[in-house]
């Protein structure tokens, strides 16, 4: 009985670690996307400036 409980807890711990790892990876992708947004916005502005200069 006690051994079964221990095995159940070990399995649950492994499952919990997998869930935590997946969520950490998801969070990191989100976090890194925050840094990309200002850069992409600036690139769009620069591209529009170049376009305006070329058609002027």
pLDDT in tens, 7-36: 999 999 999 999 999 999 999 999 888 888
For residue 23, the model assigns a pLDDT of 98
Number of domains in the chain: 1
Write down the pLDDT at residue 45.
Answer: 96
The residue range of the domain holding 36 is 1-55
- At 32 the pLDDT is 87
* Residue 2: per-residue pLDDT: 86
pLDDT category at 1 given cuts 50, 70, 90 is confident
Residue tagged 């947004």 (tokens): 37
| Residues sharing a CB contact under 8 Å with residue 19, sequence separation 6 or more, in sequence order | none
Whose structure tokens read 């969520």?
23
Q: Can you tell me the distance from the alpha carbon of 20 to that of 13, in angstroms, rounded to the nearest whole number?
A: 10
Q: Which pair of tokens denotes residue 41?
A: 């916005």
């Amino acid at each position: 009985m006690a051994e079964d409980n221990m095995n159940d807890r070990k399995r649950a711990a492994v499952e919990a670690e997998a869930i935590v790892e997946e969520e950490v990876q998801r969070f990191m992708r989100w976090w890194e996307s925050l840094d990309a947004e200002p850069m992409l916005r600036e690139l769009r502005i620069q591209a529009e400036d170049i376009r305006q200069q070329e058609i002027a």
